[in-house]
Amino acid sequence: MNEILKKLSAEKDHYKDLFNFMQEAAVIGTWEFYPKTDALSWSDVTKKIHDVQLDYEPNVETAINFYKPGLSISTIQEKLSRALEHGEYFDVELEIITAKGIEKWVRSIGYPVFKDGACIKVFGLFQDITEKTNNALKIKIQEEQFRASFEMAATGMALVDLDGKIFRTNQALAKTLAYTTKELIGIFIKDIVHEDYHDIGNNAADNLLKGHQDVFQHELRYIKKNGQRVWCWSSVSLIRNDRGKPIHFLAHVTDITKTKTSETRIKSLLETTNSQNKRLLNFAHIVSHNLRSHSGNLSILLDLMAVEHPNITQNDYYPLLLKASNNLNETIVNLSEVAVINTEIDQQFTKVKAYDIVEIGIEGLSGQIMDYNVTIKNEINKNITINVILAYFESIVYNILSNAIKYRQKNIDPEIEISHENNEDYHIFHFKDNGLGINLNMHKHKIFGLYKTFHEHEDSRGLGLFLTKNHIEVMGGKITVQSKENLGSTFSIYIKK
């Protein structure tokens, strides 16, 4: 008998332990309240959740005061009084502030027990759900953030299930494809992608599912609701759950029709330019081979005719014919020069001292400098080194200096000043003269054009400036001009650093 009692007692202890263990493990405490005596008792776990000592003795008032002021406290008060008065069961999630001042989310469950129409006891469960609630809140916030960034995104986005059906999408994608978002839901991806790209898409999905690839990116042609095609940059990734099982695809779709169109336009422009270059070479060939031989013949015929029949030179027509022939020759020589510049692309760049090249240019013009009493000040720092095609730079300097002398003012001794300045990208050389100047209002657009002449000068020709501009541009630089009539001109040459 004793043994049986002992065994029962032992089992009872055993169940008690098990019960405590379960409470601890689930962080679920219990409580009991007897309205008649106002006695409240808490289990150990309940006490632990409140952060009080195990010998703490709660009463209804202190217990309620643990609830966070506001919604939590008013809710528990209401629930408890309804349980006591009407026998209503309650199950609420509320916030408490523990004895240590820590805020916790708790689930409080209460079962009222009635006897003879009066409540004799309320017993309940008390569970710490802080972590769970915080996680839920976090997820809720994340979900909200995702929703906002998904729906407001400037790029088209879609969540696509593993069968290839869209189940969520945004405004941007709907706009690109001229659908409404509602219409897109339930549509298969293959129905909005051009059939030429179905194989690529299927392969990509396969690779993503097999884990061969993390993300698939490609230019794809989509089909709008109205049947029009639209080029889009697509980026698709596979979303997996925490166990690595695929859940759905996330697709980003950006309309690149504009980029695509301008790309095509650039390509066709390039082709045009290439064919124009070829024609120019052809033109250079015609100039050098055909035109030159005819004009050369003409001038040699005139020359020999004068030797053989000297009296013919007395004819009024002869000097005019000779002049026309000479002009023709000169024009052809100049045209050939231009053609040659445009075909000699692989000229070598060398490092030279700008000061020295200008001095060489001045030396080359020494005859004219003496004849017209020209003063030239070369104020370039002697150490400035530039990287140029030497022949071009020499020709540029020579052309600008000789122009400055050629277009001098009558009765004023020509003065030319050459200076240098730096900016981030260029060496800038200024050639300032006190010559005739150019009416830029009238001539600005044609100043560097082929055969544009703006001075009534005996041997004026615009070719020099045209060549100069060409030379500078071939070296990646530029030329600008400032000028006032009868005051002079300043040509500024930009040489790339």
Q: Min. distance of Cβ 284 from another protein in angstroms?
A: 8
User: For the chain, what is the total number of helices (H) and then of strands (E)?
Assistant: 16, 17
- From 54-62, 336-344, 349-357, 359-367, give the range in contact with another protein by CB under 8 A: 336-344
Q: Min. distance of Cβ 309 from another protein in angstroms?
A: 12
Q: Which residue from 336, 368, 409, 460 is in contact with another protein, where contact means CB under 8 A?
A: 336
Dump the DSSP string for 96-157. EE-TTS-EEEEEEEEEEEEETTEEEEEEEEEEE-HHHHHHHHHHHHHHHHHHHHHHH-SSEE
Distance from C-alpha of 399 to C-alpha of 493, rounded to nearest angstrom: 12
Q: Residues 71 to 90: which contact another protein by CB under 8 A?
A: none
Q: Min. distance of Cβ 335 from another protein in angstroms?
A: 11
Other Cβ atoms less than 10 A from the Cβ of 58: the count is 20
Q: Min. distance of Cβ 395 from another protein in angstroms?
A: 16
Other Cβ atoms less than 10 A from the Cβ of 105: the count is 20
Q: Residues 255 to 294: which contact another protein by CB under 8 A?
A: 284-285, 288-290, 292-293
- The contact mask relative to another protein for 450-479 (x = CB under 8 A, - = no) is ------------------------------
For residue 210, give the nearest of 170, 251, 244 by alpha carbon.
244
Q: Min. distance of Cβ 362 from another protein in angstroms?
A: 29
Of the pair 92, 305, the CB lying nearest another protein is at 305
Of the pair 20, 297, the CB lying nearest another protein is at 297
The torsion angles phi and psi of 97, rounded to 5 degrees, stand at -115, 120
Q: Which residue from 11, 78, 88, 303 is in contact with another protein, where contact means CB under 8 A?
A: 303
Q: Min. distance of Cβ 299 from another protein in angstroms?
A: 6
Residues pairing with 433 in the sheet? 416
Q: Residues 304 to 333: which contact another protein by CB under 8 A?
A: 304, 307-308
| Number of residues engaging another protein in binding (CB under 8 A) | 19
- From 28-36, 196-204, 248-256, 300-308, give the range in contact with another protein by CB under 8 A: 300-308
- From 88-96, 303-311, 420-428, 468-476, give the range in contact with another protein by CB under 8 A: 303-311
Any residues with CB less than 8 A from the CB of 376 and at least 6 apart, and which? Answer: 362, 369, 401, 415, 416, 417, 418
Strands 375-378 and 28-34: unpaired
Q: Min. distance of Cβ 266 from another protein in angstroms?
A: 31
Of the pair 159, 389, the CB lying nearest another protein is at 389
Other Cβ atoms less than 10 A from the Cβ of 225: the count is 13
Q: Min. distance of Cβ 471 from another protein in angstroms?
A: 17
Q: Min. distance of Cβ 472 from another protein in angstroms?
A: 22
Of the pair 299, 378, the CB lying nearest another protein is at 299
Q: Which residue from 62, 135, 297, 439 is in contact with another protein, where contact means CB under 8 A?
A: 297
Of the pair 9, 297, the CB lying nearest another protein is at 297
Dump the DSSP string for 243-291. TS-EEEEEEEEEE-HHHHHHHHHHHHHHHHHHHHHHHHHHHHHHIIIII
Dump the DSSP string for 380-426. S-TT-EEEE-HHHHHHHHHHHHHHHHHTPPTTS--EEEEEEEE-SSE
Q: Which residue from 301, 324, 360, 412 is in contact with another protein, where contact means CB under 8 A?
A: 301
Q: Min. distance of Cβ 286 from another protein in angstroms?
A: 11
Q: Min. distance of Cβ 338 from another protein in angstroms?
A: 12
Of the pair 5, 307, the CB lying nearest another protein is at 307
Residue position matching structure tokens 């075909």: 343
Distance from C-alpha of 475 to C-alpha of 493, rounded to nearest angstrom: 11
Element (DSSP H or E) covering residue 162: none
Of the pair 333, 360, the CB lying nearest another protein is at 333
Q: Min. distance of Cβ 487 from another protein in angstroms?
A: 40
Sheet holding 426-433, edge to edge: 375-378, 415-422, 426-433, 488-496, 478-484
Q: Which residue from 171, 213, 235, 299 is in contact with another protein, where contact means CB under 8 A?
A: 299
Q: Which residue from 13, 44, 344, 425 is in contact with another protein, where contact means CB under 8 A?
A: 344
Is 445 within 8 Å of 458 (Cβ atoms)?
A: no
Of the pair 239, 281, the CB lying nearest another protein is at 281
Element (DSSP H or E) covering residue 302: helix 292-308
Of the pair 302, 481, the CB lying nearest another protein is at 302
Residue 206 sits in the site that holds another protein (CB under 8 A) = no
What tokens were used for 5?
């009692």
What region does 368 belong to: left with phi over 0, alpha with psi -120 to 50, or beta? alpha
Is 465 within 8 Å of 448 (Cβ atoms)?
A: yes
Q: How many residues does the chain have?
A: 497
Of the pair 301, 412, the CB lying nearest another protein is at 301
Enumerate binding residues for another protein (CB under 8 A). 284-285, 288-290, 292-293, 296-297, 299-301, 303-304, 307-308, 336, 340, 344
